[in-house]
Structure 1
Amino acid sequence: MSNPELVIRKAVWKGEEVDLLVSGGRVLEVTPSSDTMYEGAEVVAAKGMLLMPGLTDVHTHLREPGFEYKEDIESGLRAAAYGGFSNIMCMANTSPVNDNEVVTARMVEKAAKVRPQGPRLFPVGALTKELKGEEITAMHELAGAGCVAFSNDGLPVASTELFRRAVEYASDTGRPVIDHCEDPYLGVGAGMNEGPTSSRKGLSAQPDIAEASQVARDILMSEYLDTPIHLAHISCSKSVDLIRWAKDRGVKVTAETCPHYLLLTEERAGEYDPAAKVNPPLRRMEDVHAVVEALSDGTIDMLATDHAPHAGYEKEVEFMLAPCGISGLDTALSLTWSLVSSGELDFEAFIRAWTVNPCRTFGLPLNTFSKGDPADFFLFDPSQEWVVEPGSMHSKGKNTPFAGETLKGRVASHFLEGKKIV
């Protein structure tokens, strides 16, 4: 075994105190902790902090180009670094839309320029030109420029025929399609779940079948074409039931959910709080339980932030006038760790959902702490308390329904390919 260049000493991994040995940006070995001296190695004392593989977020809105007042690539990647994310997939709803290789290349180049130390940025290309749902993009060119998936993001393709052709075309590139599952004619973008709460509060709302009906379409399409389709930000029990049925049949669908669907209900949006307005909307407590269970048993494959930053003045308006979206890169780790701490989610499911499944689904760098894996990891202090307030957030977007709350657990240091980035 070659001599390590970096040693993380006395960290905790899966309940055991270990030393992590790194050489050439790769994992050399994880060994029981000892006082072994390694000549020339940098030694970092972890002091019992948790050792975590770098997280991957498959659904992030970095807003650049075009909406840099909300977020830009530098600020988004900085928030990602402090949030524990080594890989970030950014969506195509920019201005201009990321529907051609020029925009893709500029995103990749900007990320390398402003955050050369990382996190890594992987663009998601538009499924249709200008996200209009009328004409398929040149996906081979987008893939060649660096896109790892294709999506029409928050503007789902209404034409099932066009969607079919787009999925077939994407499969030729070896990249999956990510679909925002929402019937384009049923309570679009309402930001509130339809039910007794919305009726009582007098708010326009979206029923859960708006999501579930599109999930059903995508499942049938995936089975018919024998082609993977990834289902974005699953929020309701009906969708969970459909996905579980599909996986029992061997359909090649994967799915994600977000921290807010695991922790909040429609009652929060029913307080007329624009910070809790998100699409799909927060659902019922029964849906929260179903989504947590699905994440735990693997029916839902992965977590994602759906980080959607907005300027303060855009959210500080009446509920129905506010845009949908929650800023999530700063808080996602601590929020989902709270489910591990409470016993609602086991550690293996947590790691699987934030690292293994997203990386394997989209072909991204993955650290399982096996020899030769990229040394992407962070030290996590589960006891550190912090208050979610503007000064504690690295994203430009401060729009979060968790503002003012005290969370436990924060990144102490973050390494990408063995180099410290936080």
Structure 2
Amino acid sequence: MNYILPNVNVFVQGRFVKSNVFVMDGLISEISTAKPSSTSQSILFDLEDCFVFPGFIDVHVHLREPGFFYKETIETGTKAAAHGGYTTVCAMPNLSPTPDSRENLTPQLEIIKKNACINVHPYGTITVGEKGLELSKYDELIEDVCAFSDDGRGVQSDEMMKEAMRSISKYGKIIAAHCEDNTLLRGGYIHDGEYAALHNHKGICSESEWKQVERDLALVKETGCKYHVCHISTKETVDLIRKAKAEGINVTCETGPHYLVMNDMMLEEDGRFKMNPPIRSEADRLALIEGIKDGTIDMIATDHAPHSAEEKSKGLAGSMMGIVGLETAFPVLYTELVQTRIITLEKLVELLHTNPRKRFGIGTPLEVGQSADFTVFDLNKRYKINPEDFLSMGKSTPFAGKVVYGRCELTLCGGKIAYKRG
């Protein structure tokens, strides 16, 4: 099917221009001010004055299938992603079976091919079963994974991590590390800060994250591995990565929307405020803001982690860790960071599309001749976030009830409608 989007604000070569977008046979055939004429072969979308972005890329999502389809499926997760403006996601490997061999990766690839409405790139695990004891079969996985991660668990052994880095560097792939030193957790489940002290909760110290980042950066310097730090949350981590980049170490990192707009004093006694790493102090939040402004933090990823309603109903102490984020990321970030002039809209596109595309080698730029992978938002639309409107099976979000601007109207992936409002 062919499509025409007249009089829209299109992100072209780093800036927005008022233009018309023409899609033909799955490709962007033209971006110009040429007068569009409706024909029987084209559908004309009435989205005048809306903003057309290159499809967002999330390098950190949990689609839960195979193994945990009661939480989310590849079908529901990719529909949720399209609703949020994403056309490419990287699926984390804490599944059953874990993708640590060709045999264990194949079921996931088959489900993606059958049920995904956007582009899904799976991760392979760093270690077998994410147990940190034996390296995965990288040679069997390398052609079909975007990178390697034991997300949800830090690799505890220094020697095992060094061996993984040396092996994976031979293939030119990225290690995306969940950094967490288990010896420092001490039963904690929210940030070890003011809220935990006031409400008698067990805290997770910042050192449990940054200490392992510090270790890994030393190993990257030694091995030359491409290294990416998942969901950073502490000011110390920002400082470590900033210094490592200044030294020329091959490192990138991500943070999540919730770490940028919330601090631990905004927590409530509800499982929808529980994730790992936890929402930390205001000083940490401000350091993360500086990190995205100066380029230390390369991208924003949601760590979309759906659970069942029952699993999230047991308060801060008893609920599973993880929140959903694909359907709220752009409106929350646009409202809290762009409308407040902390960053520009162009910078937000860099964090949600350009930088992850360049680092991971996935996704499609918004250019003539490229696959029509883009999303359209009405930035003037004001509404209240309602989890019952989510297409994800997961409904747990700290942003429930929050008033935001920016509603997704349309997402095309490969020139096909992945999401259309209404």
1:71 Cα deviation after fit? 0.8
Quote the offset at 1:28 in angstroms.
3.2
Q: How does 1:268-279 map to 2 (within 5 A)?
A: 268-269=266-267, 271-279=268-276
Matched residue, 2:412: 415
How many angstroms does 1:108 deviate by?
A: 2.0
* Separation (CA, whole Å) in 1 of partners of 2:247 and 2:277: 26
Distance in 1 separating the partners of 2:187 and 2:322: 10
Q: Does residue 346 of structure 2 align to residue 345 of structure 1?
A: no
- 1:247-396 equivalences under 5 Å are 247-269=245-267, 271-338=268-335, 339-367=337-365, 369-396=366-393
CA drift at 1:344:
1.2
Q: Deviations over 1:252-296 (max 9, x none)?
A: 000000000011111133x32221111111111111111112112
Determine the structure 1 residue equivalent to 2:60.
59
Rounded Cα–Cα distance in structure 1 between residues aligned with 2:193 and 2:396: 25
Q: Which amino acid aligns with 1:266?
A: D
Alpha-carbon distance in 2 for matches of 1:374, 1:217: 40
1:400 equivalent in structure 2? 397
Q: Percent identity?
A: 34
**Deviation string, structure 1 residues 355-390 (Cα, Å, up to 9, x no partner):** 1111121111221x2333322111101122333223
Please, what is the CA RMSD of the aligned residues?
1.8
Residue equivalent to 1:152: 150
Q: Please report how far the alpha carbon of residue 409 of structure 1 lies from its aligned counterpart in structure 2 after TM superposition.
A: 1.1
Deviation at 1:211, TM superposition (A): 1.1
* Aligned residues of 2:194 and 2:264 also touching (Cα < 8 A): no
SS in 1 for 2:96: coil
User: What's the offset of the Cα at 1:165?
Assistant: 0.8
Q: Provide runs of 4+ in structure 1 moved above 3 Å.
A: 36-43
Quick check: 1:108–1:121 contact (8 Å CA) kept in 2?
Answer: no
Are positions 1:19 and 2:17 aligned together?
no
1:217 maps to: 215
Equivalent position SS for 1:315: coil
- Any conservation in 2 of the 1:55–1:85 contact (CA below 8 Å)? yes
2-structure distance, mates of 1:91, 1:72? 13
User: Equivalent residue of 1:365, what SS?
Assistant: coil
Residue 171 of structure 2, aligned match among 170, 173, 176: 173
Separation of aligned partners in 2, 1:263 and 1:211: 20
In structure 2, stretches of 5+ residues that fail to align are none
1:35 paired to 2:35: yes
Give per-residue Cα distances to partners, 1:74-123, cap 9 Å, x unaligned: 111110111111011111111222222233222122122123xx211111
Which ranges of structure 1 fall in alignment gaps of 5 or more residues?
none
For residue 45 of structure 2, give the secondary structure of its aligned residue in structure 1.
strand
Q: Is the 8 A contact 1:379 1:414 kept in 2?
A: yes
Write the distance in 2 (CA, Å) between the matches of 1:97 and 1:73. 15
Q: C-alpha separation between the residues in 2 aligned to 1:34 and 1:342?
A: 35
Q: Decide whether the 8 Å contact of 1:228 with 1:252 is kept in 2.
A: yes
My pick for the range that moved more, 217-226 or 150-159, is 217-226
- 1:125 maps to a residue whose letter is G
AA in 2 matched with 1:195: G
**Contact kept in structure 1, 2:52 and 2:376, CA below 8 Å:** yes
State the shift of 1:399 in Å: 0.9
Does the alignment pair 1:83 with 2:80?
no
Q: 1:195 to 1:17 in 2, by over 3 A?
A: same
SS in 2 for 1:125: coil
The AA in structure 1 aligned to 2:21 is: L
1:105 alignment counterpart: 106
Q: Secondary structure at the match of 1:404?
A: coil
Q: Is 373-382 or 36-45 further displaced after alignment?
A: 36-45
Conserved 8 A contact 2:57-2:363: no
- The TM-score normalised by the length of structure 1 is 0.93
Cα distance between partner residues in 1 of 2:188 and 2:253: 22
d(CA) in 1 for partners of 2:170 and 2:16?
Answer: 43
Contact 2:193 2:280 in 1 (8 A): no
- Number of matched pairs: 413
Task: Name the SS of the counterpart of 1:342 in structure 2.
Answer: coil
SS at 2:4's partner residue?
A: strand
1:131 maps onto 2:134 in alignment: no
TM-score scaled by length of structure 2: 0.93
Q: CA deviation at 1:41?
A: 4.3
Q: Which moved more, 1:405-414 or 1:21-30?
A: 21-30
Aligned mates of 2:249, 2:187 — CA distance in 1: 28
CA contact 2:2–2:25 (8 Å) conserved in 1: yes
Secondary structure at 2:109's aligned position in 1? Answer: helix
Would you say 1:142 and 2:141 are equivalent positions?
A: yes
Judge conservation of contact 1:189–1:280 (CA < 8 Å) in 2: no
Matched to 1:291, the amino acid is L
Aligned equivalents of 2:162 and 2:176: distance in 1? 13
